[in-house]
Structure 1
Amino acid sequence: MAAAVTTTTVDQVSEHINAPLKVINRIYGMGTVGDGQNPSEFSSVVRDHFQAVLSKPGVREQIPIFDLSGDAPRLKRGSLVRFRCMVQDPSYGEELHLSVAQLVNTATGETKLISSQYTDADHVLEEGWEVDYASASNMFTEREVAYCVSVPGQNEWARLDSPVAALEGALGSLNISTQPALGGSSELVPVVAEKKYPLSGCKHSAALVKFYSLTSPPKVTSVVDAVGIYELGRSPRGEQDDTSEQHDSWPCIHAILVSEISVDSLVPDLPRPGASEHFERRSMCLAHLQSVLGGDDLAAHYLLLHLLSKTVAVQDVKVGKLSLNLIGFPLSSKSQEDGTAVSAFALRSPATQWVSEMLAQLVPRSVEMPFELATLNSSSFLPNAEGGDLQAGVLQLAPDSEIVCDETCLHEGTLDERGLRNLQALQTVILDQTLTYVYPYQPIDMATNLRVLVLSNGKSILQNDCDLYLSDEAVIFFAGIHEGSAGGFKPLDPMHTEQIRQYLELARHLDFGVPQDVSDAISDEYARMRREAHEKGEKMMTQAELALIVTVARLVSIGKSEVELSMDSWREAVDLEARRGERNAQAKAARSAK
Structure 2
Amino acid sequence: MSSSATTTSLSSMATEPVVSAEVIRECIQSPQTHCERQTENSDADDIEVFGKLVQTHFKRVFRDAKALNQIPVFGRTGMHLKPKPGSLARFRCMVQDPSYGEELHLSVAQLINTETGERRQKFSQYTDSGHKLKEGWEVDYASNGNRFIEKEVAYCVSVPGQSGWAEMDGAEGLEHVMEALDISSASEAPVMGCAEKYSLNGQTHSAALVKFYAPGSAPKVSEVVDVVGIFEIGCNPRDEEGDKQWPCLHAIFHGAVTIDNLVSGLPVITCGSDYVHRHSMCLAHLTEVLGGDGLAAHYLLLHLLSNTVEVQGTKVGKLSLNLIGFPAAVNKHDKSEAKEDATTKPVFALDNPATKRIGDALAQLVPRCVEIPFALKLLNNTSFVPNAETGDLRAGVLQLAPGTQAVCDETCLQEGTLGERGVRNLHALQTAILEQAVTYMYPFQPIEMAANLRILVLSTGKSILHNDCDLYLAESASQLLQKINGDDGSAGEPKSLDPMHSEQIRQYLEAARHLDFSVPKDVSDRISEEYAQMRRRAHERNEKMVSQAELALTVTVARLVSISKGESELSWDSWAEACALEASRNERNSGFLAKKRAAMEEASQKQKPGLD
Which TM bucket (shorter chain)?
over 0.9
Q: Quote the Cα distance in structure 1 between the aligned partners of 2:563 and 2:236.
A: 45
Shift of 1:454: 0.3
Change (3 A) 1:348 1:373: same
**Which residue of structure 1 aligns with residue 305 of structure 2?**
308
**Which residue of structure 2 aligns with residue 241 of structure 1?**
240
Shift of 1:68: 6.5
Change (3 A) 1:342 1:390: closer
Any conservation in 1 of the 2:307–2:403 contact (CA below 8 Å)? yes
Shift of 1:102: 2.3
Question: Which moved further from structure 2: 311-320 or 70-79?
Answer: 70-79
**Which residue of structure 2 aligns with residue 47 of structure 1?**
55
Equivalent position amino acid for 1:299 in 2: A
Shift of 1:11: 2.1
| 2:594 aligned with 1:583 | no
Q: Quote the Cα distance in structure 1 between the aligned partners of 2:353 and 2:470.
A: 21
Shift of 1:172: 2.3
| 2:276 aligned with 1:283 | no
* Secondary structure, counterpart of 1:507 in structure 2: helix
Equivalent position amino acid for 2:352 in 1: S
Change (3 A) 1:92 1:541: same
Q: Quote the Cα distance in structure 2 between the aligned partners of 1:122 and 1:69.
A: 33
**Which residue of structure 2 aligns with residue 318 of structure 1?**
315
Equivalent position amino acid for 2:23 in 1: Q
After superposition, residues 58-73 of structure 1 pair within 5 angstroms as 58-67=66-75, 69-73=77-81
| 2:487 aligned with 1:491 | no
Deviation string 1:244-284 (CA, Å, 9 cap, x unpaired) is: 432xx222111112110111111101101232111011011
Q: 2:562 aligns with which of 544, 557, 565?
A: 557
Equivalent position amino acid for 1:225 in 2: D
Q: Quote the Cα distance in structure 1 between the aligned partners of 2:319 and 2:64.
A: 41
Q: Structure 1: state its 5+ residue gaps.
A: 183-188
Deviation string 1:335-362 (CA, Å, 9 cap, x unpaired) is: 2575799961011000100000000000
Equivalent position amino acid for 1:245 in 2: D
Shift of 1:147: 1.1
**Which residue of structure 2 aligns with residue 198 of structure 1?**
199
Q: 2:480 aligns with which of 457, 471, 477?
A: 477
Question: Which moved further from structure 2: 96-105 or 272-281?
Answer: 96-105
**Which residue of structure 2 aligns with residue 420 of structure 1?**
423
* Secondary structure, counterpart of 1:563 in structure 2: coil
Deviation string 1:145-196 (CA, Å, 9 cap, x unpaired) is: 2111111101011111133314214342265xxxx618xxxxxx34512111
Shift of 1:449: 0.3
Shift of 1:112: 2.2
Any conservation in 1 of the 2:346–2:377 contact (CA below 8 Å)? no
List, as ranges, runs of 4+ consecutive aligned residues in structure 1 with deviation greater than 4 Å: 214-217, 336-343
Question: Which moved further from structure 2: 162-171 or 516-525?
Answer: 162-171
Equivalent position amino acid for 1:500 in 2: I
Change (3 A) 1:80 1:217: closer
Change (3 A) 1:342 1:424: closer
Change (3 A) 1:309 1:56: closer
**Which residue of structure 1 aligns with residue 579 of structure 2?**
574
| 2:531 aligned with 1:544 | no
Q: Quote the Cα distance in structure 1 between the aligned partners of 2:184 and 2:418.
A: 42
After superposition, residues 285-300 of structure 1 pair within 5 angstroms as 285-300=282-297
| 2:357 aligned with 1:346 | no
Any conservation in 1 of the 2:99–2:152 contact (CA below 8 Å)? no
Any conservation in 1 of the 2:50–2:123 contact (CA below 8 Å)? no
Q: Quote the Cα distance in structure 1 between the aligned partners of 2:114 and 2:316.
A: 67
* Secondary structure, counterpart of 2:204 in structure 1: coil
Any conservation in 2 of the 1:86–1:149 contact (CA below 8 Å)? yes
Q: Quote the Cα distance in structure 1 between the aligned partners of 2:312 and 2:202.
A: 41
Equivalent position amino acid for 2:571 in 1: S
| 2:513 aligned with 1:512 | no
Any conservation in 1 of the 2:105–2:150 contact (CA below 8 Å)? yes
Question: Sequence identity of aligned pairs in percent?
Answer: 57
Equivalent position amino acid for 2:395 in 1: A
Q: Quote the Cα distance in structure 2 between the aligned partners of 1:190 and 1:157.
A: 24
Any conservation in 1 of the 2:39–2:53 contact (CA below 8 Å)? no
* Secondary structure, counterpart of 1:113 in structure 2: strand
Deviation string 1:287-312 (CA, Å, 9 cap, x unpaired) is: 01000000001000100010000111
Q: Quote the Cα distance in structure 1 between the aligned partners of 2:193 and 2:185.
A: 12
After superposition, residues 119-158 of structure 1 pair within 5 angstroms as 119-158=127-166
Equivalent position amino acid for 1:557 in 2: S
Q: Quote the Cα distance in structure 2 between the aligned partners of 1:8 and 1:287.
A: 44
Any conservation in 2 of the 1:232–1:252 contact (CA below 8 Å)? yes
Q: 1:181 aligns with which of 160, 177, 188?
A: 188
Shift of 1:57: 5.5
Any conservation in 2 of the 1:308–1:508 contact (CA below 8 Å)? yes
**Which residue of structure 1 aligns with residue 179 of structure 2?**
168
Scaled by the length of structure 1, the TM-score of the pair is 0.93
Q: Quote the Cα distance in structure 1 between the aligned partners of 2:115 and 2:284.
A: 79
